[in-house]
Amino acid sequence: MKLIFEKRYKEIQKFINQKKYKKFFIITGFNSYNKSGASKYFEKIFLNKKVKIYFKKNNIPEVRELSRIIKDLNKFKPDLIIAIGGGSVLDYAKLSNVLFNEKNPKIKIRRSIYNFKEKKAKLLAIPTTAGSGAEVTPFAAIYIGDQKYSVEHKFVKPDYQFLVPELVISGNKKVKASAGFDAISQALESMLSIKSNTQSLNYSLKSLKLSIKNYEKFIKHPNKNNVLNMCVAANLAGKAITTAKTNGPHAVSYPFSVHYNISHGHAVSLTTSQFLNLYYLKSNESLANFSIKKRFKKIFNVLKVKNINEFNQLLKKLKKAGSLEGDYKKLGINIDSNYHKILDGVNAQRLSNCPINIDVRDIKSIIKMKL
């Protein structure tokens, strides 16, 4: 499919020229930068300008590579940092920009003391996947060993964002499916988070409406319209979780990614239906200041389903469309002998946003639940 990039290329070029930046530090992935068509157009934008490109090595953002990026960043001293890529690229860019003074960033990350006073430079985020909405969130993920940390601060949020569907359309089916389902789950989780409010709920509903309508077409028959709609859906979901945060499905997803190399959105999809079913079944045990059943009624209305069973069937259909395998054996996971790996890696911070109390027994039953 031919990429029609010229209009947005000119918008970005105009932005660069107006801001009068002189030195540019680009963080990206080699494949996404070249296969998306970004390299062709950004070479034109940065012609005769001072540019350094860092190609990230790891699919999961980890602290050793973050330290290397910080070292390069301080040596180059850019006016503008540009993140072109998916969630891990944006995580690296956001974190290196606020941790640039740290010789050993893992110390500050482990202490969870995020009293940032300044940023290295302005940050421009250009996502090449329609999923995480990281271009609008004030937090970023980083791993130290097997442990996932989430750094949250207003300075972490990018200063500028450009949504460029032409960069997203070239992604393979697997990437689109995983990222797209992440956006869907973020919208669902944020609607049922104890931290949700009227504004986040509005973002969630708009995101869910767009993503459900466009997800399958986005995967199977991508075009400018459905790709743009998924980009907007991901962006809205990112705005929703900025306030509401994610909960159960994200909390349990991280060990699946770390230990079994399952992409983030795919890992989230393994327990989205299961967690939401438990929320529904235990709605009378709500910890939230809203009615869980009423929130589900809003979800059902958007999804055009009548009840929880039809909801389960719809999510099953979406996962099948994206080839998001849910059978642990087919994924090479002996779940019965690896419960400890999953339980040890559960993110307690995310789990605390669930609308009901979730304990170890609940997590075990969720993992075993087949929907």
pLDDT at 35 over 90: no
List domains and CATH numbers for the chain.
6-166 (3.40.50.1970), 172-368 (1.20.1090.10)
Give the per-residue pLDDT at 2. 37
Strands (E), 205-321: none
Q: Three-state DSSP class for 33?
A: helix
Amino acid identity for residue 271 in this structure: T
Q: How confident is the model at residue 6 (pLDDT cuts 50, 70, 90)?
A: low
From CA 53, how far away is CA 51, in angstroms rounded?
Answer: 7
Cross-strand partners of 144? 147
* Strands laid side by side in the 122-127 sheet: 50-55, 23-28, 80-85, 122-127, 160-161
From CA 225, how far away is CA 211, in angstroms rounded?
Answer: 12
> How much is the mean pLDDT over the chain?
93
pLDDT, one tens digit per residue, over 336-357 is 888 888 999 999 999 999 999 9
Contact 190, 278 (CB under 8 A): no
Give the per-residue pLDDT at 3. 40
Q: Which two tokens stand for residue 323?
A: 């080839």
pLDDT, one tens digit per residue, over 215-261 is 999 999 999 899 999 999 999 999 999 999 999 999 999 999 999 99
Contact 260, 333 (CB under 8 A): yes
Contact 228, 275 (CB under 8 A): no
pLDDT at 4 over 50: no
Q: What is the pTM of this model?
A: 0.93
Give the per-residue pLDDT at 99. 95
Which H/E stretch holds residue 127? Answer: strand 122-127
pLDDT at 82 over 60: yes
Give the per-residue pLDDT at 5. 55
Helix pair angle (308-321, 272-281), 10° resolution = 170
Q: If you compute the radius of gyration of the chain from its CA atoms, what whole number of angstroms results? A: 20
